[in-house]
Chain A
Amino acid sequence: MGYAIETNKISKKYDSFTAVDSIDLKVPRNSIYGVLGPNGAGKTTLISMLCTILRPTGGSAMVNGYDIEKQAKQVRASIGIVFQSRALDDILTGREHLEMHAALYGVPKDIRQERLDEVLDLIALGKKADEYVKTYSGGMKRRLEIGRGLIHHPKVLFLDEPTLGLDPQTRESIWDYIYDLNQNHDITVLLTTHYMEEADKLCDEVAIINQGHIITSESPKNLKRDLKADTLTITVDSPEEFVEKVKTLGFIKEAFLVDGEVKLMVEMGENLIPAVVGFASEQGFPIRSIELEHPNLEDVFIKFTGSKISSEGK
């Protein structure tokens, strides 16, 4: 069976407002799958349905081969979840959180200690493991939550905006952590995010969600390739004249000036740099610098929705 998660027109309405609208999602086993979209797009609602906290108002879904409505208990036993908002008890220690979780998920008593040590090692809380969670930093809390979600060896791990509100350094370490986990364990990761970079770096496949709809789903590489627009940024003397000249080249889709720099929109930019440089020196415009930029997922999002992802969804 190829898919860890498969949804069939899954929908959620709050009164008359449709937060998730007929979404079909197919998440291959052992992949890292990203659901990327702005705030309010319906990511948390979608995840909440998949982990059986909310009931869909339409459609259905299978997680690990279990129906999320008819076999909710089997679904819950086979998944791990890290919620967007914190789900910790201030007055318990990190270790107690893990012990409690292992007990609730029926990890056999004889291997419980082993699992606890394994996870504590992984999330590197050190001595803090035996202090109350209220003394933890944001990054430690997040690591504890991720570690907790792993202690029963789930087949699917849901991460709802795992690095929201963390500093860049902690964010990178959590990315490494998720990546290693996926490489070394038999685990499928479904993560939601509104950080382009996160989806880009981490995910094998990305579904872009906006206002409850999936707009497109592909590998980040293909999504960006479909845009067919690399940007060459060039600085030359007398850029105004150069823009007019360079427009005559057949492979240039667009050429314009931004803050005294020449921007050229091209396809497969890396192959064209020599041609552009050659043309410029022929025409008597020695190039001071040239820079190639591939499109990012932000550009993909703009292409599909006409708005930036960082702005609110509605």
Chain B
Amino acid sequence: MAEIEGIYTIWLRETKRFFRYRSRIVTSVVTPLLWLIIFGTGLGSAVRFGGNIPGGYQAFIYPGIIGQTILFTSIFSGLSVIMDRQYGFLKEILVAPISRPSIVLGKALGISTASVIQASILLILSFIVGVSMDPLTFVLCIIIALIMSVGLGGMGLVIAAFTDSMEGFNLIMSFIVLPMFLLSGALFPITGLPTWLQAAVYINPLTYGVDALRAATLGESALPLEISIIVIAFFAVLMILISALIFSKKEQSLM
């Protein structure tokens, strides 16, 4: 009971922070729209797109861009632990009489809330790229977004546990976040790639999230939807377990 209230309390703080940084909410919707409208239209008219999706290339990258938004929001919210440590607030949480796994779970749920809100805004705007949305598809996409964000948020927490200052931020961006996005099949079909690239794509957990979203929104996918969902769910559980373990065992440098 106390643990559940602890989880709720941590979640509540994350969510309050999310709503109070208005500019973050605005950019998190505007950025994907720029990708869809400018990049989607630009590249869509430059190359002849092989897929037979109504709406063409723009519709094809739509689930990819939703995946990108979930990726960025989740990882960066996970990394906010670095800021909490730097500004000292992490001490207040770590010294409270609730278990470390509960802290991690509360954080992860807060991260998912932020990601799911952003994903729903993009799902509601599906008409812009000419993708039709019905309530069932919407709910399915939300569930996928939720599972993805727990895993990616957990991954952000794991990275944060090993990063002492925000100086590591650019490294994380260049060596983890951007490659994950580019290698996820968000922007190109993953079938028929050279083998080396295909291997990189298939070890990337984001690939399965994007593929699941694509199956749900466009009815087109490289893998069966169930397989993708199993993979992202497994990834989510794994990341939560690892970050709970690290936060319990590792001595955080707090001073």
Residue ranges of A at the interface with B (Cβ–Cβ < 8 Å): 44, 48, 51-55, 73-74, 76-77, 81, 83-92, 96, 100-101, 103-106, 148
Residues in A neighbouring B255, C-beta threshold 8 A: 44, 48, 84-85
- Are A103's CB and B9's CB within 8 A? yes
Closest to B252 in A: A53
Chain B interface residue count, CB cutoff 8 Å, equals 29
How far is the CB of A98 from the nearest CB of chain B, in Å? Answer: 12
B9 engages A91 (CB within 8 Å): no
Contact at B13–A89, with CB atoms within 8 Å?
yes
CB neighbours (8 Å) of A44 from chain B are 255
CB distance from A158 to the nearest CB of B (A): 10
A103, B5: Cβ atoms closer than 8 Å: yes
CB contacts (< 8 Å) of A76 on chain B: these are 95-97
Pairwise interchain contact A86-B87, C-beta atoms closer than 8 A:
yes
In Å, the complex CA distance between A54 and B251 comes to 7
Main secondary structure of the interface of A (DSSP, over half): loop
Give the docked Cα–Cα distance between A91 and B99 (Å): 25
CB of A101, distance to nearest CB on chain B (Å): 7
25 sampled A-B residue pairs with Cβ under 8 A: A48-B255, A73-B97, A73-B99, A81-B95, A83-B91, A83-B92, A85-B255, A86-B88, A87-B90, A87-B92, A90-B87, A91-B17, A91-B20, A91-B21, A92-B13, A92-B16, A100-B9, A100-B13, A101-B92, A103-B6, A104-B5, A104-B9, A105-B96, A106-B2, A106-B97
Interface membership of B98, Cβ < 8 A: yes
Contact residue among B6, B16, B88, B252 (Cβ-Cβ distance under 8 Å from A104) = B6
Give the docked Cα–Cα distance between A106 and B4 (Å). Answer: 10
Indicate if the CB atoms of B5 and A52 lie closer than 8 Å: no
Q: Which residue of B lies closest to A78 (CB)?
A: B97
B residues touching A (Cβ–Cβ < 8 Å)? Answer: 2, 5-6, 8-9, 12-13, 16-17, 20-21, 84, 87-99, 251-252, 254-255
Given known A-B contacts A91-B17, A91-B20, A92-B16, A104 and B98 have beta carbons under 8 A apart: yes
Contact A106–B5 (Cβ < 8 Å): yes
Give the chain A neighbours of B254 by CB distance below 8 A.
48, 53
Docked-complex contact B95 and A52, CB < 8 angstroms: yes
When chains A and B are docked, how far (Å) is the Cα of A220 from the Cα of B119? 63
| Chain A residues whose CB sits within 8 angstroms of the CB of B93 once the complex forms | 104
Q: Which of A48, A52, A90, A100 has the most CB of B within 10 A?
A: A100
With A44-B255, A84-B255, A85-B255 known as contacts, the answer to whether A53 contacts B5 (CB < 8 A) is no
CA distance A81 to B17 in the complex (A): 24
With both chains docked as a complex, state the minimum distance between the C-beta of A307 and any C-beta of chain B, in angstroms. Answer: 24
- Contact among A74, A85, A91 for B88, CB-based, below 8 A: A85
Closest to A77 in B: B97
Closest to B21 in A: A91
Q: Within the complex, what minimum Cβ distance (angstroms) separates A94 from chain B? A: 14
Min CB gap B2→A, angstroms: 5
Known: A81-B95, A88-B89. 11 other contacts (CB 8 A): A55-B251, A81-B91, A85-B88, A87-B92, A88-B87, A88-B88, A89-B87, A91-B17, A96-B16, A103-B9, A106-B97
- The verdict on A53 contacting B95 (CB below 8 Å), with A86-B87, A89-B87 known, is yes
Structural contact, A87 and B91, CB atoms closer than 8 A? yes
Residues of B within 8 A of A103 (CB): 5-6, 8-9
Q: Which residue of A lies closest to B17 (CB)?
A: A91
* Chain A hits for B12, CB < 8 A: 100
**What residue of chain B has the Cβ atom nearest to residue A104's Cβ?**
B96
Given A55-B251, A103-B6 in contact, is the A83-B88 Cβ separation under 8 Å? yes
Q: Distance in Å from the Cβ of A215 to the closest Cβ of chain B?
A: 23
Query: What is the distance, in angstroms, from A212's C-beta to the closest C-beta of chain B?
Result: 16
| B83: min CB distance to chain A, Å | 10
Measured between beta carbons, the chain B residues less than 8 angstroms from A55 are: 251
Alpha-carbon distance A101/B5, docked complex (angstroms): 11
- CA A100 – CA B67 in complex, angstroms? 32
* A89 and B89 contacting across the interface, CB-CB below 8 Å: yes
Indicate whether A87 sits within 8 Å of B16 (C-beta atoms), given known contacts A53-B254, A104-B96: no
Shortest Cβ distance from B182 into chain A, in angstroms?
33
Q: Which residues of A contact B2 (CB under 8 A)?
A: 106
A177–B184 Cα distance when bound, in Å, is 58
Measured between alpha carbons, how far is A84 from B88 in the docked complex, in Å?
A: 10
Q: How distant is A252 from chain B, measured CB to nearest CB, in Å?
A: 48
- Contact across chains for A87 and B89 when beta carbons are under 8 A apart: yes
Nearest CB of chain A from residue B77's CB, rounded to whole Å: 14
List chain A residues, Cβ under 8 A from B6.
103-104
Closest to B92 in A: A87
- Within the complex, the shortest CB–CB distance from A58 to chain B, in Å, comes to 15
A77 CA / B9 CA spacing, docked (Å): 16
**Shortest CB distance B157–A (Å):** 18
Q: Determine the distance from Cα of A105 to Cα of B9 in the docked complex, in whole angstroms.
A: 11
**Complex Cα gap A44–B16 (Å):** 31
Closest to B13 in A: A100
Contacting residues, chain B, for A81 (C-beta < 8 A)? 91, 95
Contact check, A53 vs B87: say whether CB atoms are below 8 A apart. no
**When chains A and B are docked, how far (Å) is the Cα of A138 from the Cα of B166?**
25
